[in-house]
Every structure is written in structure tokens, then in C-alpha cells.
Amino acid sequence: MELCAGSGSPEEEEEAPWSRFSRWLECVCVVTFDLELGQALELVYPQDVKLTEKERSSICYLSFPDSYSGCLGDTQFSFRLRQSVGRRGGGREEEVYNRDAPPTLKVRVPSRSDKPGGSPVRQSAAENLLRTPTVLRTPTLLPSIHELDLFRCFQPVLVHLQVLWELLLLGEPLVVMAPSPTVSSETVLALISMISPLRFCCDFRPYFTIHDSEFREYTTRTQAPPCVVLGVTNPFFIKTFQNWPHVLRLGETKMAGDLPKQVKVKKLSKLKTLDTKPGIYTAFKTFLHKDKILIKRLLKGIQRKRPSEVQSAILRRHLLELTQSFIIPLERYMASLMPLQRSVSPWKTPPQIRPFSQEDFLLSLDDTGPQLTSVLKGDWLGLYRKFFRSPNFDGWYRQRHREMTQKLESLHLEVLCDADLVTWTKDKSEVETVDLILKLREKLNKARRQQLQLKDGVLEKLENFIETIVTSLPEELGRVLSTHCTHITH
């Protein structure tokens, strides 16, 4: 993976590895527990990283379990925290990073629907060394989301996979009550990976405690719970989250090979006491029927002591195919909104992408719907209608629209490159020629910023055209334009 296009000096090449690595890791923090002071941030590396007091406090509190269960001996887990507003820009960095990162590890960019003043929530360093400071309590890092043992995470809830997949697809608020920070964080990461390759565009906290700065925001009963997946261990949350629509309570993890007792779907009214049994507490009714053949296959695999890696591969493939069956019709319809390539003209602005019509899409499902690739029966139309109201649809649509817009920009630059612009300018006024030069320069700078995929030589040819036209203009005007263009380029 190249750091950036056009970097070639020895100094830049020497810096490239660290620059690439810094996109994944912002800093390393060491937190110790002082018997008198409590948690204390002992070391931050590199030393020039500036953390706000709020961030330092959050890191300290989140680095140690807030309950006694499941934390004997060495333990490792991950968490995420909200970056303080104004500490760092990074809009362009996020765009570059997101282009190459797997869907489940992309940085969430706030949409226009986000609350004013909100800040983007970034991944934690323990989740594969991602950008936001966190604590590495042991020399070994957590595996990435793609290396998680999905089967071990979902063993107790195999019969409810369809419920969980739909909850995650629709971005529903979900609390995971786990016996330890390790189980909490791994389960949350496994949950958000269920809808891969679709990007999970809601907030998620692998390990959430009462000391988190968003504790009041997430536990208030005066408004509906936000679209977030929370992993918790403190029994205090059993009472606190009684108003949440979906709660997954897990027990102690079974050893590999054991046939786990599958948790049941229960009413939320039963989530009251501290000795609440494991289960899924929700009134949610799935739109699709569950895949009984898959469940029987996985349960039989447990009885036959099939390796967990094989079970995970079976589970991952099922979830991937299910999500793809859901997304392919959306992708196909979105592609139909793209203007034809022949409509892109060098003498006009690029054509616009046609608007997304939900009703037109739903009508197209009779011929191109998920029934062509999935054996699952149920209310697919109802699932799509609910999905349209979720942050995951909003994130998917914005990303696809941005990619298509950039494709149109690339096509427009390529047809401009092939057009005889020099001849076009011969009978044009100086005002029209200058306007063309400024617009071309703006498009070239935008193409470089966005690193548009272009045919070889396109940018160079248009640069040469600009230089040719500038030299044909009156000397004073040409000098002003050259200065202006140089200033814009830098």
C-alpha cells in the first residue's frame, strides 16, 4: 500500500513506514494502579501526543474492570472512547484511511443527521492499533475483528443468530451484559462484524463502564436510547438499562466442545434482578425466518467436536452470504442511477446522479430481489423499509454516492483530456479562457486531494494545456494566473 501518490524523495520514503503505521496507532499508554491514588497514566508514547484531561481520565478508568467478575490473572480487552472536540482535525486522514481499511474497521464520519457539536467516535488502539489512545495491558495485542473466534462468541446464542443479524443490520440499540471485559469486548466486535461487508455506521463500545463520559447520555430515560451497541459487565447496569429495547445477557463461556444451553428470548419486564439468567430480552420479531439447517449443522459440529476454526468459517460464510443477498439488490439499483458514460461531455458540467427512490427500489425486487440468492423466506420488503430508516443505510448510501460522484469526476477529466481545448479557446474572450483555466485548476487539485482513479497521463496532459494557454495570454495576465495557480496548488 502506497503512502500517497507521487512521493518519491529518499526522506519521504524513509518516513513512509511510520506515517503509514501512525494511521493505525496514535499512541501507546501505560496505566498503573496506585493503592493510594487509584488509576494513573504512567506513560504516553510518543511523548509529544497531547491528550485532554477528559481523555486521560477516560483511559485510566476504562483500563481497569469496574467489577470483580472474570478478571483473575492476565486479561486483555478493548474499548473505544470519544475523542475530545478540537484536539485533532484528521478529516482528510480519515478519508485516506477509510479507503483501504476493511469495512468493520473504518472510522465513522458523522452524517448531517448527527447532533450539532458531536464528535466522531474512533476505533481503539487495542482493536488492531486504531488511532485512538488506549491501554495495552499485556504484550500481546487483541486479534483483529476478522480473526475473532465468531463461533465461540455466538455459541450460547446460535438459535438466535437471525435476531442478532437483523438488530445489527437495522442499527438497533443493544446492550451486551457479559461476565468479563474480555467476553464483553469480543462479543461486541463479533456482533458488528455480523453484517460485513456492509459497514456498521452506528456507535459501538466493546467495553463500557459507569465512568465513561457518555454514561449519562446513554442511561437517561427521558429520550429513546441512541443507536449504539454497548458491552458492560457491572451488575449495576441490569437495572439501569431496563428501558433499553434489546438486551443480550451472557453467562460464563463454555469450554470448546461442550454443548451449550441456548439462551432464550425473554420479555424485558423480566430484566429486574441481579440473578437474571442469560438470555435475549427483547420484543423484536424478525422479518425473516431463521436458517434451521445452519443451526443444526453447527450444533452437530459441537457434538462431534468439530474444530472451532471450522465452525467459525461456516458461520462467517453464512453471515457473509446473507448480508450480500441483502446488499446486492441495493448495489444493483444504485448502479442504475449512474448517468451513462456517453452523457459526460467536456463542454458541460458532469451529469448528476439520479435520486434514490425507495418505492422504485422496492418495485424492482420482484425481478432482482434477495430471493434470487438466498433461501431464507420472510418479509424482505419490511426489512428493507426498516433498513431505510437506519444509520447503516445512510452510511452506505453516502459512501456509494460519494464513490459514484468521484467516478463521474474522473470520467469528466478524461474526456477533457481528449478534447481539443486549445482550439476551443481560440475564438473565446480572455474572461472565458481565464474561467476555464481556474475551473480546470480547481478540478485538478480536487482530483489529487481525492486521489481519483484516472488513466495514465490525464493530469499531466491537462497541466500542460493550462501552461500552454497561460503563456498565450498577455504577459501581465499570465503572470497573475501563474501566481494564483501556484498558490492554489500549494
Q: Would you say residue 231 has pLDDT above 60?
A: yes
Contact 165, 81 (CB under 8 A): no
- Name the residue with higher pLDDT: 238 or 187: 187
Whether 142 shows a pLDDT value over 90: the answer reads no
Rg of the chain over Cα atoms, rounded to whole angstroms, equals 27
Q: Are residues 190 and 56 in the same domain?
A: yes
Query: Are 474 and 459 in the same domain?
Result: yes
Q: Is residue 471 part of a domain?
A: yes
Residue whose grid cell is 470483580:
68
Residue after which a domain boundary falls, among 366, 400, 434: 400
pLDDT higher than threshold 50 for residue 77: yes
| pLDDT tens per residue across span 307-359 | 999 999 999 999 999 999 999 999 999 999 999 888 888 878 888 999 999 99
258 pLDDT band (50/70/90 cuts)? low
Main-chain dihedrals φ then ψ at residue 281, nearest 5 degrees: -100, 105
> Is residue 411 included in any domain, yes or no?
no
Structural domain includes residue 15: no
Cis omega (within 30 of 0) for bond into 206: no
Are residues 469 and 367 located together in one domain of the fold?
A: no
**Looking at residue 390, what is its pLDDT?**
95
Residue 236: give its domain's CATH number.
3.40.50.11500
Residue 215 resides in a domain = yes
In a domain, 302, yes or no: yes
Query: In the listed set 306, 323, 355, which residue is the last one of a domain according to the structure?
Result: 306
Evaluate whether residue 282 is within a structural domain.
yes
Are residues 297 and 317 part of one domain? Answer: no
Q: Judge if 146 and 275 occupy the same domain.
A: yes
431 and 389 assigned to the same domain: no
- Compute the mean pLDDT over every residue in the chain, rounded to the nearest whole number: 77
Three-class SS state of 204: strand
Q: Is the same domain home to 163 and 126?
A: yes
| Number of domains the chain is built from | 3
Q: Cβ neighbours of residue 27 under 8 Å, at least 6 residues apart?
A: 44, 45, 46, 49, 51, 125, 133
Judge whether 265 and 193 are in contact, CB under 8 Å. no
Instruction: Give the residue numbers spanning the domain of 206.
Output: 22-109+117-306
In-domain check, residue 394: yes
Q: Indicate if 175 and 32 belong to the same structural domain.
A: yes
Model confidence at 109: pLDDT above 60: no
Domain co-membership, 340 together with 445: no
Residues 361 and 278 in one domain: no
Examine the fold and report which residue of 258, 290, 306 is the final residue of a domain before the chain moves on: 306
- Which residues are within 8 A (CB) of 295 and not within 5 positions of it... i.e. 6 or more apart? 158, 159, 161
* Percentage of the chain exceeding pLDDT 90: 32
Please check whether residues 342 and 276 belong to one and the same domain.
no
Cell of 307: 474444530
| Average pLDDT over every residue of 453-476 | 78
Pair 387, 256 in one domain: no
Highest-confidence segment of 24-33, 248-257, 477-486: 24-33
207 in a domain, yes or no? Answer: yes
Q: What is the residue-wise DSSP string for 217-272?
A: HHH-SSSPPPSEEEEE--THHHHHTTTSSEEEE--PPPPTT--PPPPEEE-GGGTT
Q: Strand 228-232 relative to strand 279-282: parallel, antiparallel, unpaired? A: unpaired
pLDDT tens digits for 350-389?
Answer: 889 999 999 999 999 998 899 999 989 999 999 999 999 9
Q: How far apart are CA 133 and CA 50, in angstroms?
A: 10
Phi, psi of 481 (to 5 degrees): -65, -40
